[in-house]
Structure 1
Amino acid sequence: MEKIGFIGLGNMGGAICKALIAGGLDVTVFDLNPKALADEAYQNKAAIADSTGAVWKACDIVFLSLPSSKQVVPIIEEFIAAGVQGKTIVDTSTSYPQTTRALYARIKAAGGQLVDLAISGAPADAQNGKLMALFGGDAAMHEKLAPIVRCFADRYPNLGESGAGHVTKILFNFVAMSYVNIYAMAFPLAQKLGLDMDQVYELLLSTGMGCGTMQFYVPKMIHQTYEMAFALELAHKDLSYCRSLFEEFQVPAFLLDGELAMLRTAIRDGKGKMDYSACIGTMFEFFEGK
């Protein structure tokens, strides 16, 4: 059995890692947060490493689940320096695709493998094996990793060459976050004009505009509960990545510019660590004259 490493035990990373352990795999884990490592799900069920380097040394396949390429790059640079021959890195983070492709070329040339395996779904889906895992990389690796991925995902499309999984995830997030930004503008306007937001929501839900994104986000937006699912600052990062992809082709991204302006304002006002739904709070505040 190949030894699996897992670095980054946050909400999604922790859920995926626990699914791998439940699947009977030999897993070594590491996180910078001692509280994450203290989770009883890892005690006597996984090897706990004291550094990223220790994970790399002990394992054949190492999963990364980190906030962005900013955290991914230095860890992969450490792995390259230590030697990647015969080893595989699986990046489940939402990383910048062009950075992923550059790292893939270097690792491939040195005898290793880098796979981007972006994740779509909620952490709760991991324990039921119901995530979607968006693969980018060498076709042979798609088949090789399939038994491992089945521990946490039931949809495992091969999107193509290196970076394709990360591109697809960024596009997914662009579409979903655009919906949320529209809700954030429409419902405060409805309220300001004297409409009942709950009634407008129920009516919209019954039309062709009703969707899962609306069901998930709008109730906590209009009632301003903002239950945590995805941090606003991470949404800003993902949309910034998407904006950079447009810039590479020197193509305007009209909608994105407005979305990013809203999120930058929300972050300035202290909402960065809150759930993405809190972006509506910025619009409520504008209407209230704050």
Structure 2
Amino acid sequence: MNDRIGFIGLGNMGGRMTRRIVDGGTDVLGFDMNSAAVTDAGAVPAASGRAVLESTDIVFLSLPDSRVVEKVVLGDPDFIPALRRGMIIVDLSTAAPSSTQRIHERLAEVGVEYLDAGISGGAAAAEVGTLTLMVGGSAAALERVQPVLAHFATKVFHMGAPGAGHSTKLLNNFLNAISLSATAEVMVAAKKANLDLATVLDVLNASSGVNFATLNRFPKIIHGDYLKGGLTNALMMKDVVLYVDHLRELGVASLNAPAPLASFGLARALGYSDEISNTVVDAIGDVSGSVRLHQPVAVDDAQ
């Protein structure tokens, strides 16, 4: 018998992943506090999260953070009683590994597998089904959900025990935050030095400074395309804080965290909190003499 699929949390990422599953020919029973998000993603609306759990076998969660995940899984009195032995819960959120491990232990008591599946690639990759997943938990459970994951992810790595997926996600996101904020600073400096920005990027991408931001973000940003729809400055800040907390638990010195914390904290303070994290370059530009990497096209010039 084919597993029935449920999805709780159909926001920016969850909605896109659900759409990929539905367009791949698999029905999804979905619940989100914003009911329009469920229908927009092509899912069958459920009256509640409990209704999703009672009618499906594999349930995906895509929620903002550990606080919300714990509120849904452990805090909702209807959640655990609605589970059935043999079900699999796949947590696609960015969460604290210690929280993930606690949830895994609680669900194991009722015979339910819990996979923590960190995501990389953002909204653009979710849109076309090319996400990368890093998964913690049972290898057998991962094998069972693999056909569903294949609708929205092209690379799936089994990282090990419960919490390993979310741990890897935090490490990756921190490097993403470092490269984005550092490249933003460099590009503002290049603009103020009157360098041709496209040529600067060509140099960086052929040299030791190359990174994801120089390859994939700034070739668009310098022309005014901020690649809307991805991780916001507030969420990037949240991820860096989670990384710092995780390193504290591991007993590892976090010597490089102050820079992205300062950059994305600045972006939040200047009103870019809910804008895509690529706008951190504008926040740095604001305090560097009102610098913009691109010049908006005037209405008269565009006609």
TM-score by length of 1: 0.90
Which has the higher mean CA deviation after the structures are superposed, 120-129 or 265-274?
A: 120-129
1:194-232 alpha-carbon deviations (Å, 9 max, x no partner): 433333223222324334431222234445553312211
AA matched with 2:89: I
What is the CA distance between 1:53 and its match in structure 2?
A: 1.6
Gaps of 5+ in 2: 292-303
Other-structure match for 2:145? 145
CA contact (8 A) 1:16 1:123 kept: no
Taking the TM superposition and a 5 Å limit, the aligned residue runs for 1:165-204 are 165-204=165-204
| 1:58 equivalenced with 2:59 (yes/no) | no
Q: Which amino acid aligns with 2:267?
A: A
Residue in structure 1 matched with residue 301 of structure 2 by the alignment: none
Separation of aligned partners in 2, 1:166 and 1:187? 31
Distance in 2, matches of 1:141 and 1:90, equals: 10
- Asked whether the 8 Å contact 1:226–1:277 carries over to 2, the reply is yes
Which position in structure 2 is the counterpart of 1:49? 46
Distance 1:95 1:267 in 2: 21
Q: Taking structure 1 as reference, are residues 81 and 257 closer, same or farther at Cα in structure 2, changes over 3 Å only?
A: farther
- State whether structure 2 residue 203 is matched by structure 1 residue 206: no
* Residue 87 (structure 1) shift: 2.1
Cross-structure match for 1:27: 28
Greater mean deviation of Cα atoms: 146-155 or 95-104? 146-155
Q: Which residue of 1 aligns with 2:265?
A: 264
C-alpha change, 1:245 and 1:214, in structure 2 (3 Å) is same
When normalised by structure 2's length, the TM-score is: 0.86
Paired with 2:190 and 2:129, the residues of 1 have a C-alpha distance of 40
Q: Does the CA-based 8 Å contact 1:220-1:277 persist in structure 2?
A: no
Change (3 A) 1:251 1:129: closer
Give SS of 2:281's match: helix
The runs of 5 or more residues in structure 1 that have no matched partner are: none
Deviation readout 1:128-175 (Å, 9 max, x if unpaired): 543222111012212221222222222221110101111111111111
Matches within 5 A, 1:60-79: 60-77=57-74, 78=76, 79=79
1:38 aligns with 2:35: no
Work out the CA distance in 2 between the residues paired with 1:192 and 1:65. Answer: 41
Amino acid at match of 2:247: F
Q: Deviations over 1:229-273 (max 9, x none)?
A: 221111111111111111113433121122112211211111111
SS at match of 2:257: helix
Structure 1: distance between partners of 2:112 and 2:123? 29
SS of 2:13's equivalent in the other structure is helix
For the pair 1:120 / 2:117, whether they are aligned, the reply is no
Aligned residues: CA RMSD: 2.2
3-state secondary structure, aligned to 1:118: strand
| Cα gap change, 1:281 to 1:94, in 2 (>3 Å) | same
Separation of aligned partners in 1, 2:134 and 2:241: 20
**Percent same amino acid at aligned positions?**
34
**2:87 aligns to what?**
87
In the alignment, which residue of structure 1 is the partner of 2:275?
A: 274
SS at match of 2:158: coil
For the structure 1 residues 270 and 220, does the alpha-carbon distance in structure 2 shift closer, same or farther, using more than 3 Å as the test? farther
Aligned-partner Cα distance in 2 for 1:125–1:251: 32
Rate the CA distance shift 1:259–1:145 in 2: closer, same or farther, 3 A.
same
Deviations 1:8-55 (A, max 9, x none): 11232112112222333232011111331232x52xxx4211211211
Which residue of the partner structure matches residue 240 of structure 2?
Answer: 239
Q: Distance in 1 between matches of 2:241 and 2:53?
A: 30
Q: In the superposition, relative to structure 1, how do residues 220 and 151 fare at CA in structure 2: closer, same or farther (>3 Å)?
A: closer
More off after superposition, 110-119 vs 215-224: 215-224
Aligned ranges for residues 96-111 of structure 1 at < 5 Å? 96-111=96-111
- Distance of 2:215 and 2:242 partners within structure 1: 26
Q: Are the equivalent residues in 1 in contact too, given 2:31–2:48 (CA < 8 A)?
A: yes
CA distance in 1 between counterparts of 2:34 and 2:47 reads 11
1:286 has 2:287 as partner: yes
